[in-house]
A = this chain, B = another copy of it.
Amino acid sequence: MKKLDHVDKQILQILQEDGRIPYTEIAHQLGVSEGTIRSRITRLLQDGVFQFVIHPDPAKLGLKVQAIIGLTTKLGLQKSVAEELSKFSAVRFVGAFSGKHDLIIQACFHSNDELITFVNERLSQIEGIAAADVSLELKQYKDSFSFVPDDEVTLQ
């Protein structure tokens, strides 16, 4: 149960703009030594607070069709359905929810054709899916899992 202080949050903020900015540069921006940045980041990584990753642009990879699909699953099969769905590389998000749909997923496709094939061929072969409610993405306004909350934060 450790708190993220202002420096930690500033580090996260800077890294979400450019995950490969040198520690020396962050140190310079924040007015501390490189060693401090290094030990802070090492600790944040160890605590699982964040990971260094890349954010590909699906459209640039030819995945022009994105969809959010709400699924109704048969009782008792939700978990196995979720795990099956997670295996697809086209599927980038899978979550269990309360509300209209038991599972909600987000996936990317090259074409409408590929999407409809996914729904008709792939989903239908997964045991436990009762219904699928497809929403086709028309325009994306924001997509970032880089968000640092504004207020004080306590580690879990």
Which residues 92-144 of A sit at the B interface, judged by CB distance below 8 A?
92-101, 104, 108, 110, 133-144
Q: Are A54 and B89 touching (Cβ within 8 A)? A: no
Check if B147 sits within 8 Å of A98, measured CB to CB.
no
Q: Give chain A's interface residue range (CB within 8 Å of chain B).
A: 35 or more
Q: Which of A33-64 contact B (CB under 8 A)?
A: 47-64
Distance in angstroms from A106 CB to nearest chain B CB is 8
Interface residues of A in 2-30 (CB under 8 A from B): 4, 12, 15-16, 18-20
Q: Report which residue of A95, A101, A149 has the largest number of chain B beta carbons within 10 angstroms of its beta carbon.
A: A95
Excluding A50-B57, A61-B153, 6 further A-B contacts by CB distance (< 8 Å) are A18-B52, A53-B145, A56-B147, A92-B142, A99-B136, A100-B133
Give the 10 A-B CB pairs with smallest separation, nearest first: A99-B135, A19-B52, A94-B141, A97-B135, A86-B142, A94-B142, A20-B52, A96-B139, A50-B56, A82-B141
